[in-house]
A and B are shown apart, each in its own frame.
Chain A
Amino acid sequence: MRGPESSSVWVVCPAFNEATAIGGVLSDLSRTDYHVVVVDDCSCDATRDIATELGATVISHPINLGQGAALKTGIGYALSQGAAYIVTFDADGQHRVGDIPRLLDALDHSRADFALGSRFLTPSPIVPIGRRLLLKAATLFTVAMTGLRLTDTHDGLRAFTRRGASVFHLRQNRMAHASEILGQIARSGLRYVEVPVTIEYTPYTMAKGQRAGDLIMVLLDLFAQRLYR
């Protein structure tokens, strides 16, 4: 069975100051038939111009709201344009475009509404040790909170069906959205599947990535979020 029609797939790229990397990402994506929407989170560099030049649909936040908000904007827009499948794809070049069809196929094959990338499912994942410890801690925490059985909770490469994407009501503007997405997947009761993906660790993606301090902020954010429920 072939995967879904490429033209019904929308790839959402949240981007903040990604001028050095987004060109490569978008030219890789332009070789596919996917619709690409870049949500520029008020970058100070040329991210928006590059994305526009490379022919992506560009939505620009007038102020910096955070990656979670950018995802919500992009997912909502894709839904409003009739997307049947939505893929979230980081703009910093850490994901491989070749992994997208595998996520979409996984959605089809397992009749799931969410396909979540996991860098730890590949046979011999190359993940720097500091990053590995940080991610393991985050995964333990998120699994404990949501009850989902996952190996990697902070992988930005995900694919949703239209039904799946419609369950999100993201309120965490900042990085805590990764756990928030998973919490809402858990609550939706819809089927999810994890798919091995490869993350490219370059000095650039490492510098842009999460640090231990960010993780503490994520935890604080999530505890604060508990107060509102």
Chain B
Amino acid sequence: MIAQAILSLVLSGMLIYAWAERRRSPAVAFLSVAASLAGLYFVWFPSQSTRVAELVGIGRGVDLILYLWVCISLIVLLNLHLKLRIQEEMITKLARTIALANVVRPGRTGALVFVEPRAGSMQPPAVDGAHISSDARASPISSNSP
């Protein structure tokens, strides 16, 4: 009974969370709701899982749940991986935009020239502020992105 109570509590929590998240990603929320409902059902009627397992050709209900769990974990992993990847691309774009807004150029000619530090200061050449906006507009990000 203790295990059943704990599992029920956890699964109910997941059910509530999934329901609350339904606006953000309906598909994930729906699947989570379905999974937690199925979980609750099997927690209270363990013999039912064995019947379902036999129906699809798996020996025990525990095995069925184990296999399902592995599959779900893999899907979640892939989903997270894709999300991370998208985030990485967004960060890359952001960083590139910042970089292109702060290009440090040599002289106006564009040829390689030695930049003399201003008299009395050892500051590196200042960012070419006059070009910040034009650089941002001419940035390749918008044009290159698919």
Which residues of chain A have a CB within 8 Å of any CB of chain B? 7, 26, 29-30, 33, 35-36, 39, 49, 52-63, 65, 69, 72-73, 75-77, 79-81, 168-169, 171, 173, 224, 227-228
* Cβ–Cβ < 8 Å partners of A224 in chain B: 81, 85
* Cβ–Cβ < 8 Å partners of A57 in chain B: 103-106, 110
- A sample of 14 cross-chain residue pairs with beta-carbon separation below 8 angstroms, ordered by A number, consists of A29-B112, A33-B111, A35-B110, A52-B104, A54-B114, A55-B112, A57-B104, A62-B98, A69-B96, A72-B144, A80-B140, A81-B110, A171-B89, A173-B92
Interface flags for B130-143 (1: CB within 8 Å of A; 0: not) read 00000100111100
* Cβ–Cβ < 8 Å partners of A72 in chain B: 96, 140, 144
* Cβ–Cβ < 8 Å partners of B12 in chain A: none
Which residues of chain B have a CB within 8 Å of any CB of chain A? 78, 81-82, 85, 88-89, 91-92, 95-96, 98-100, 102-107, 110-115, 124-125, 135, 138-141, 144-146
Given contacts A49-B124, A54-B114, contact A77 B100 (CB under 8 A): yes
* Cβ–Cβ < 8 Å partners of B139 in chain A: 76, 80
**In the docked arrangement, what's the CA distance between A54 and B105, Å?**
11
Query: Which of B102, B104, B110, B113: most chain A CB closer than 10 A?
Result: B104
For the complex of A and B, 4 pairs with smallest distance between CB atoms: A76-B140, A80-B138, A55-B106, A30-B112
Residue of B nearest to A171 (CB): B89
A177 to chain B, nearest CB (A): 12
Q: A59-B99, A72-B96 given; name 12 further pairs at CB < 8 Å.
A: A49-B124, A52-B115, A55-B113, A57-B105, A65-B92, A73-B96, A76-B140, A77-B100, A77-B140, A81-B110, A81-B138, A169-B145
Whether A79 contacts B140 by the Cβ 8 Å rule is yes
Whether B88 contacts A76 by the Cβ 8 Å rule is no
* Cβ–Cβ < 8 Å partners of A65 in chain B: 92, 95-96
Query: Which of A36, A59, A79, A171: most chain B CB closer than 10 A?
Result: A59
* Cβ–Cβ < 8 Å partners of B95 in chain A: 61-63, 65, 69
Q: Of A7, A36, A76, A169, which one neighbours B146 at CB under 8 angstroms? A: A169
Query: Which of B89, B96, B98, B112: most chain A CB closer than 10 A?
Result: B112
Given contacts A30-B112, A80-B135, contact A56 B106 (CB under 8 A): yes
